[in-house]
């Protein structure tokens, strides 16, 4: 047997050992946490982190950290100080990404400015103050396509306003009039089909969209909150370049 063959066998054996060890750790962590914290939500995934001896415990899109036996549970942020990278934030970005081509664009209204090459989708509630501030910034963008999903999560009045805007002859104008100028949208026709609003809420629940505004870029990146133009502009351009 050649030295190269021996090295290959050693590498395979080492990998198998590491895989088996990780699986054993996962089983122990799941068992101990379930027994010791009965009200802990269902664990979706357990995986090793770059920090030796530390494991990530994923509950949906919430991340916790624990040791190899589940004796300790940590809630916080894991940072790689050498690379100066927030590992928790990186992981959450991947977990919460939504493929742009999976968005049900028929349930949104669309505005195109300039060449429309930079694309984004926004889930917004008409009574959300941060959404109104964000709309004022979005109005300053050029060469952009904006898909707005009405997402009435703040109560009955939000539902009524969203229905009125969706049922307006010019949805984009009704939205801008209300969000930027405080002009009430016209009353909705009782016969208007506003089932898109229910589908938007169902989509948001499926993908854990818990706040407004929530922005989805062309590369799938999700941005919670009303970030300013100085942050949004480069992210938009970067996402457009990545999807050419």
Give the pLDDT confidence of 139-166 residue by residue, as tens digits.
999 999 999 999 999 999 999 999 999 9
Residue 147: beta bridge partners?
A: 110, 121
Is the predicted pLDDT of residue 189 greater than 80, yes or no? Answer: yes
Which burial class, exposed, middle or buried, applies to 28 when counting CB atoms under 10 A from its CB (0-12, 13-18, 19+)? middle
**CB of 148 closer than 8 Å to CB of 175:** yes
Among 133, 50, 37, residue whose Cα is nearest residue 90: 50
Distance of alpha carbon 125 from alpha carbon 212, whole angstroms: 6
CA angle 74, 207, 77 (to 5 degrees): 20
CATH superfamily of 3-96: Disulphide bond isomerase, DsbC/G, N-terminal (3.10.450.70)
What's the mean pLDDT when you consider all of the chain? 89
Q: How confident is the model at residue 9 (pLDDT cuts 50, 70, 90)?
A: very low
pTM of the model: 0.72
Beta bridge partners of 111: 146
Percent of residues in the chain assigned helix, strand, coil, to nearest 5: 45, 20, 35
What local confidence, expressed as pLDDT, does residue 187 receive? 84
Which of 11-15, 35-39, 45-49, 155-159 bottoms out in mean pLDDT, i.e. has the lowest?
A: 11-15
Please tell me the least confidently modeled range out of 20-24, 50-54, 72-76, 143-147: 20-24
- Measured in Å, how far apart are the chain's first and last C-alpha atoms? 50
CATH number at 100-242? 3.40.30.10
Asked whether 43 and 30 are in contact (CB, 8 A), the reply is: yes
Give residue 64's pLDDT band: very low, low, confident or very high (50, 70, 90). Answer: very high
| pLDDT score, position 16 | 41
SS3 61: coil
Secondary structure (3-state) at 88 = helix
CA distance 173 to 164: 12
Per-domain residue ranges of the chain: 3-96, 100-242
């Amino acid at each position: 047997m050649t030295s190269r063959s021996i090295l290959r066998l050693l590498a395979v054996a080492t990998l198998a050992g590491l895989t088996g060890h990780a699986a054993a750790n996962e089983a122990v962590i799941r068992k101990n946490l379930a027994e010791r914290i009965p009200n802990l939500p269902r664990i979706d995934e357990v995986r090793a982190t770059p920090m030796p001896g530390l494991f990530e415990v994923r509950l949906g899109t919430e991340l916790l950290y624990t040791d190899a036996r589940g004796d300790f549970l940590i809630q916080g942020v894991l940072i790689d100080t050498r690379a100066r990278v927030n590992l928790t934030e990186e992981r959450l970005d991947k977990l919460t990404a939504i493929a742009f081509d999976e968005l049900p664009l028929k349930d949104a209204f669309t505005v195109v400015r300039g060449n429309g090459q930079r694309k984004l989708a926004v889930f917004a509630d008409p009574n959300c103050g941060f959404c109104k501030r964000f709309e004022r910034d979005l109005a300053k963008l050029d060469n952009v396509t904006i898909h707005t999903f009405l997402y009435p999560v703040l109560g009955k009045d939000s539902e009524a306003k969203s229905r009125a805007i969706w049922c307006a002859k010019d949805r984009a104008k009704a939205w801008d009039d209300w969000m930027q100028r405080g002009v009430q949208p016209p009353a909705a026709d009782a016969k208007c089909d506003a089932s898109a609003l229910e589908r938007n809420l169902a989509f948001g629940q499926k993908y854990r969209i818990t706040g407004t505004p929530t922005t989805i870029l062309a590369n799938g990146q999700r941005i919670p909150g009303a970030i300013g133009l100085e942050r949004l502009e480069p992210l938009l351009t970067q996402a457009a370049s990545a999807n050419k």
